[in-house]
Structure 1
């Protein structure tokens, strides 16, 4: 790789052994990827504070600096960790104090996470604790080079915001935070950001449920390629686009999509494909829509619902407000739990607006920092859950061994207050 003078100095130890280890990791990483240079970033989003038994053992053996060296720098070095060189935030992590007693999640992991937040916060990591950092202050601008983890955050940053990031890992983001550098390859390069497939919706795509199902079809169809989507698309809002992107990244591995006339790098269909000839469109019609719905609802047959999960990716304030309106004056079915996952910053706003009180009065919970898939924990005794998230319907049955129902917000609230799944495709 070609390094500039600043990068060579960091690699040679001019800014200390931790930064040198970080630069060594990035050089090895870049060479493995075939990158010929590094690019500058001032926006890193990683998982420094995520608790785990491995992290706990490293902290016991050598302290938090040792844990960072091993997990975030792939190094066995014994050195202090300096302040982050560039703005760096923590994405979603484990459950916090608000989940104590509600889940089988170990209290020791909550305590470890709290200690981690203190250490990393003092070293320049902003603890946002959400998979949707763009909802709570981390909003990169078009063309900005970022180093982000978390598939749904990455696809939103690339597609909706027009920022540039690959789907990074724990080590590469740990190194990027200390250096302000990341290998310049993949989505950082303009020539790799043009569309590869054309998907045409022949049925209306309007609202959260429909954008999620359409996204699941798109991801399954193109896998890790770059879809351009057109057709009968009604104008989406923030929640629709984050749900669409999360679904494409779950059923496939999409990191970038274009919606001509909507997403910033695709003012036209020609622009989306970089001036190249358009491929033959792949049709999403009634049959394909039905097949997606049946796939997402083919993971069980018991209609008794123990648990309803909303907010994946983390719920927006509008989504929390909509759930509160539907739950006003109602009570959850005995033995059925309802959780709404959201960033802690938005939970504060929901509290202030009275939404949390309405949801809590009905028997539900507004929880923060994590989700059942990330923390691998659901209410004790859960056998069947319902969700409006294609991503959670895709992952949670495999992670926790439970059955899943997927449907609209209305279907999920109905399941929460009746204890039964009565949803269906309309």
Structure 2
């Protein structure tokens, strides 16, 4: 049958028979899944993984029981598809099947990453009732399949902490380098489709950073200027991403210990300006006893030095979109804030009041927002005129306060993305500078 344009319509993924001949070889259980023995949805997911694995050159799949993806759908998906049914949307956009599929409960332990809205502050996003209903229908559908609605870019902050050597299938620019590096778990930077297929099958291609030989450092980085504070680590991460792109660095000359919050911000910055999915810091990260150990006895492909001039260049670059110092929006919490970061903001605001010309929005996982509420921190922030958000962020939800021309943030990731996504100017500085800016309405670097 031909379409109106005279072309043959694509074959539904669930109808494609498994055809041996690619690089991926299946076990008997996997072959049964691929050939439809466990239902059309599982067969569609296996078809997607086989095609993906062939592209990666994977020889086989590997079992995973820890998948973090982003499969909540809203109006922009239904408009393009012409259907708001969550079953149809999941089948089309997550499993590459134009035919709605009867998806079974998830085989792997699965969680939803950051989503498009915060149900507490949906009114501030300007979401109407119909839009909210589409999003909540999608959430209910995922939950019915066994997906945990953590709705955060930092699932490792709220209970999903994979172990060393555990094969995972995770999305998200801060989460991937965090669990690969600090925890020693194994994942590539996956997408919505591959994570959805992994949820359904409990499998992911055995390629890339799942293989030990691909996890060794390739580049040596030496630090010639102090990198101590969380802000310093953000600047350093952005520098690494710009210079390495997708290589794996081992970082020498780190002075003292490094806290997890700094590494959260570091990985997000490095995986925004580049594609640094893993790094080694001897004595800090899970798989680096020494520089030589991280390099696996090989000489580095290249040796880089991070200098004071590099530090200043990054800050200048990240502030380059701003043409003035008046600020309408201060955004803190990308990646989502930890409890210690929320406490810092609370201390900086306690007894003060932000400018009437500024919106101060702080983002954190919903689980941590509840802890902050019980601790009394939310009350302090709200008395100061701020709001604490969860489940989303301005880049993912694609929203800023009305009238925003210029925003300030302590996030290298957010100032990298939001000007392009929302057409606003950005200022980048420390958390303290951002809070001072919120109090005055003027950039306070």
In the superposition, the TM-score normalised over structure 1's length comes to: 0.96
Which residue is equivalent to 1:253? 275
How big is the shift at 1:234? 3.6
Q: Which runs of 5+ in 2 are unaligned?
A: 1-23
Query: Is residue 241–residue 269 contact of structure 2 (8 Å, CA) maintained in 1?
Result: yes
**SS of the residue aligned with 2:102?**
coil
Which residue is equivalent to 1:188? 210
Query: Is residue 215–residue 244 contact of structure 1 (8 Å, CA) maintained in 2?
Result: yes
Query: Is residue 388–residue 412 contact of structure 1 (8 Å, CA) maintained in 2?
Result: yes
User: Which of 54, 65, 71 is residue 42 of structure 1 equivalent to?
Assistant: 65
User: Which of 292, 296, 306 is residue 318 of structure 2 equivalent to?
Assistant: 296
CA distance in 2 between partners of 1:213 and 1:326 (Å): 22
Query: Is residue 49–residue 116 contact of structure 1 (8 Å, CA) maintained in 2?
Result: yes
How big is the shift at 1:392? 0.7
Which residue is equivalent to 1:33? 56
User: Which of 103, 122, 138 is residue 81 of structure 1 equivalent to?
Assistant: 103
Decide which moves more: 100-109 or 405-414. Answer: 100-109
Which residue is equivalent to 2:199? 177
Which residue is equivalent to 2:3? none
**SS of the residue aligned with 1:260?**
coil
Q: CA RMSD in A?
A: 1.4
Which residue is equivalent to 1:64? 86
How big is the shift at 1:280? 5.0
User: Which of 7, 10, 16 is residue 39 of structure 2 equivalent to?
Assistant: 16
How big is the shift at 1:237? 1.2
CA distance in 1 between partners of 2:292 and 2:164 (Å): 19
Decide which moves more: 51-60 or 135-144. Answer: 51-60
CA distance in 2 between partners of 1:366 and 1:154 (Å): 25
**SS of the residue aligned with 1:256?**
coil
Query: Is residue 405–residue 424 contact of structure 2 (8 Å, CA) maintained in 1?
Result: yes
Which residue is equivalent to 1:3? 26
How big is the shift at 1:297? 1.1
Which residue is equivalent to 2:385? 363
Q: Does 1:404 align with 2:422?
A: no
Which residue is equivalent to 2:225? 203
**SS of the residue aligned with 2:253?**
strand
Query: Is residue 239–residue 270 contact of structure 2 (8 Å, CA) maintained in 1?
Result: yes
How big is the shift at 1:298? 1.1
Which residue is equivalent to 2:262? 240
Aligned pairs for 1:208-219 (under 5 A) are 208-219=230-241
Query: Is residue 258–residue 284 contact of structure 2 (8 Å, CA) maintained in 1?
Result: no
Which residue is equivalent to 1:157? 179
Cα-to-partner distance string for 1:24-78 (whole Å, 9 max, x where unaligned): 11111111111111000000111111424223665836x3222111111111233
User: Which of 350, 357, 382 is residue 328 of structure 1 equivalent to?
Assistant: 350
Which residue is equivalent to 1:351? 373
Which residue is equivalent to 1:283? 305
CA distance in 2 between partners of 1:52 and 1:239 (Å): 34
Runs of at least 4 residues off by over 4 Å: 56-59
Cα-to-partner distance string for 1:167-194 (whole Å, 9 max, x where unaligned): 1111111110010000110010011001
Query: Is residue 318–residue 428 contact of structure 2 (8 Å, CA) maintained in 1?
Result: yes
Which residue is equivalent to 2:10? none
Aligned length: 422
Query: Is residue 51–residue 93 contact of structure 1 (8 Å, CA) maintained in 2?
Result: no
CA distance in 2 between partners of 1:108 and 1:226 (Å): 45
How big is the shift at 1:106? 5.0
Query: Is residue 209–residue 407 contact of structure 1 (8 Å, CA) maintained in 2?
Result: yes
**SS of the residue aligned with 2:151?**
coil
Cα-to-partner distance string for 1:223-279 (whole Å, 9 max, x where unaligned): 111111122434221210010000000111110111111100001111111121245
Q: Does 1:93 align with 2:131?
A: no
Which residue is equivalent to 1:220? 242
Change (3 A) 1:107 1:155: farther
